[in-house]
Amino acid sequence: MANKRLVTVIGATGAQGGAVVQSLIQTGKYQIRGLTRDAKSEKALSVAKLSDQVEMATCDINKREDLERAFKDSWAVYALTNFSIQPEVEIQQGKLMADVTDSLKIPYLIFSTLENVDKLSNGQLNVPHFTQKALIRDYIKEKHPNLKVIYVQSAFYMQNWQNRSKPQKLPDGTIVFASPLDQKATLHIGDADDTGPIVREILENPEKLVGQDICICSEEICFEDISKVFTKVTGIPSISKTLTEEEFRGTTSFLPKLIQDDLFYMYKWFEQYGCFGKHKDWTTGKQLTHLNTFEDWLKKTGWKGQ
């Protein structure tokens, strides 16, 4: 283990980082340092138990000294930030990650980003959890031009339907995918677990991909086809329902207004520009490795809509 390259993974107990840890273990090539706010938590201990290639370390990504300790001796860092309604919090996390990576002369940083919705929509749409990540990327490019960074961009996770965008079940058993999206709107979607294979492929030959954006997106699919694919795979009747803004705000009334706005305008961004903007090649991840389509994911998980 001592001779293996060390890859440090932020968010190792979460969706993206957890998938990265799993895939890197399978290669048998790396020592993996997974970061969490509490290395003794049940979640963290269950990740540590996966393999003796994994060590879990406590690190608060808001603190420079924690990042310095956690990133030390890494060959590569997988970095993501957490959305905060205070923009400066998320932006500061990302800046710190890049500053520390550069100051410790870590060879590669893989940074999870998204697009600048404000700029690309000419100020028409405000989706801070996207734009904040893009502003971090601008900062990295400007302040750390020599840092070797590969950017990944996750599409809308299919897993969102299992938690934050859970469909309703009607009394007759029909599953209702409800979003403020036109039936013909194109959704870019991806299996969050595919973050793992993508990072594994990037690390096979990082030099080739330095400076590039890799989209973790398996397909673009019309909103109306989500329910059709669901029914085809599961045999359960299903519809895609377009919510008005008022209906959407009703279903998300438990969230602070700022977050409701962020999510509502995210759907409008998807409708008008797609997840990655009009001009980006969303197939870059698919060109590196197999990524699960919605059909693959339904078969893999056996998810029945609840």
Ligand X SMILES: NC(=O)c1ccc[n+]([C@@H]2O[C@H](COP(=O)([O-])OP(=O)(O)OC[C@H]3O[C@@H](n4cnc5c(N)ncnc54)[C@H](OP(=O)(O)O)[C@@H]3O)[C@@H](O)[C@H]2O)c1
Closest approach, Cβ 143 to ligand X, in A, equals: 21
- Identify which of 16, 6, 10 has the alpha carbon closest to the alpha carbon of residue 35: 10
CA distance 268 to 272: 6
Nearer to ligand X, 108 or 157 (CB): 157
Q: Which is nearer to ligand X, 43 or 144 (CB)?
A: 43
Q: Which residue is nearest to ligand X (CB)?
A: 14
Query: Least Å distance between CB 254 and ligand X?
Result: 17
Decide if 237 contacts 174 (C-beta within 8 A): yes
Residue 84 vs 174, nearer CB to ligand X: 84
Distance CA 212, CA 118 (A): 21
On whether the CB atoms of residues 291 and 224 are closer than 8 A, the answer is no
Nearest distance in Å: CB 95, ligand X = 15
Q: Contact positions toward ligand X, by CB under 6 A?
A: 11-17, 35-38, 41, 43-44, 59-62, 80-83, 129, 154, 156-157, 160
- Contacts with 24 (C-beta within 8 Å, 6 or more apart), sequence order: 7, 9, 30, 32, 53, 196, 199, 200, 203
Q: What is the DSSP letter of 24?
A: H
Question: Which residue, 214 or 236, has its beta carbon nearer to ligand X?
Answer: 214
The residues near 33 (Cβ < 8 Å, ≥ 6 apart) are 6, 7, 8, 9, 54, 55, 56, 57, 70, 74
Q: Which is nearer to ligand X, 12 or 175 (CB)?
A: 12
CB of 259 to ligand X, least distance (A): 11
Q: Which is nearer to ligand X, 36 or 179 (CB)?
A: 36
Q: How far is the CB of 126 from ligand X (least distance, A)?
A: 15
Give the C-alpha distances (Å, rounded to integers) separating 301 from 7, 23, 48, 109, 304.
28, 17, 24, 31, 9
Of residues 127 and 147, the one with the C-beta less far from ligand X: 127
The DSSP bridge pattern shows strands 108-112 and 76-79 to be parallel
Is the Cβ–Cβ distance between 256 and 191 less than 8 Å? no
Least distance from ligand X to the Cβ atom of residue 99, Å: 16
Q: What minimum distance in Å lies between the beta carbon of 260 and ligand X?
A: 15
